[in-house]
Amino acid sequence: MKISSSNPTRGKIFNVWRGLWPGVWSLWRQGSWLGLVSAVLFAWSLCGLLLLTWHWSEWFSPLFREVGWAGLGTWVGFSCWKAGSQAPQDAKCPDPLIHFYELYLQNEWQTLLTELPQYLVRSPQDLPVRLLYATLLRKQKDYRAARSQLSQLINLPDSDRWQTEIEREQRLLMRDASSQVEEAEKDTEQANREDLEDVSVVSS
């Protein structure tokens, strides 16, 4: 998500600090599985090198430990560089929710149906965006998928803060789904009546 800061330099420094432990920021902010894997691997690597350096130094040669520390330092350096390089871009890019709402108001349904799932793969815990996606699916009469998104919303952290909006969307989903069932029943009855009329005409 966008980080608002009146000082671009401070924002960039903050982004660099985010990379000191690779994966932790994306795990915390976005619930990224890739971030979880990176954070765990980094922790294991760091603990292993510390043990090999201070406790089990006789197990491997000094060259092996130097290569290990160099690799770990390169990993942290790349992570900090990558995080810092995102600062200018973040300052220019709009908030994802604003971007998606603009598309929604412009009736860009197909664009949203493509972009929203891709974004939610990267940021699965973005609750307002997922709520918007559930609304879009309801509008598209994909009630099963909309119901699935609402079920995921309920299990997200801080979902209680959006309880009113979630419950409202659930009511709208039930209303629209019921209306579709009633329309289908009416269409079936109409088709049956027409079939009976056709049979009567043929019989006469």
Domain-ending residue, one of 76, 92, 108: 92
Mean pLDDT by 10 residues, the chain (204 residues): 41 59 70 76 85 76 82 83 58 72 90 93 90 93 93 86 90 86 56 49 50
> Is 3 contained in some domain?
no
Same domain, 88 and 103: no
Residue at which a domain ends, from 53, 71, 92 = 92
Tokens 């089990």, residue? 56
Q: Assess whether 68 and 134 both reside in one domain.
A: no
Same domain, 68 and 105: no
107 shares its domain with 191:
yes
Do residues 115 and 146 both lie within one domain?
A: yes
Q: Could you tell me if residue 2 is inside a domain?
A: no
* 79 and 126 housed in the same domain: no
- Angstrom distance (rounded) from CA 113 to CA 118: 9
Examine the domain organization and report whether 62 and 132 are in the same domain. Answer: no
Which pLDDT score is estimated for 123? 86
**Each residue of 100-141: pLDDT tens digit?**
989 988 989 899 999 999 999 988 888 999 999 999 999 999
Last residue of a domain, one of 72, 92, 112: 92
Same-domain pairing of 64 and 131:
no
Q: How far apart are CA 90 and CA 157, in angstroms?
A: 24
- Whether 77 and 116 map to the same domain: the answer is no
Give one DSSP letter per residue of the chain, joined into a string: -----S-HHHHHHHHHHHTSSTTHHHHHHH--HHHHHHHHHHHHHHHHHHHHHHT-TTTS-HHHHHHHHHHHHHHHHHHHHHHHHHHHHHHHSPPHHHHHHHHHHTT-HHHHHHHHHHHHHH-TT-HHHHHHHHHHHHHTT-HHHHHHHHHHHHTSTTGGGGHHHHHHHHHHHHHHHHHHHHHHHHHHHHHHHHHHHHHHHHH-
Show the domain range for 51.
8-92
Residue pLDDT, tens place only, 138-152: 999 999 999 999 999
Flag whether 100 is in a domain: yes
Domain match, 42 and 119 both: no
Supply 123's token pair.
């940021």
| Number of domains making up the chain | 2
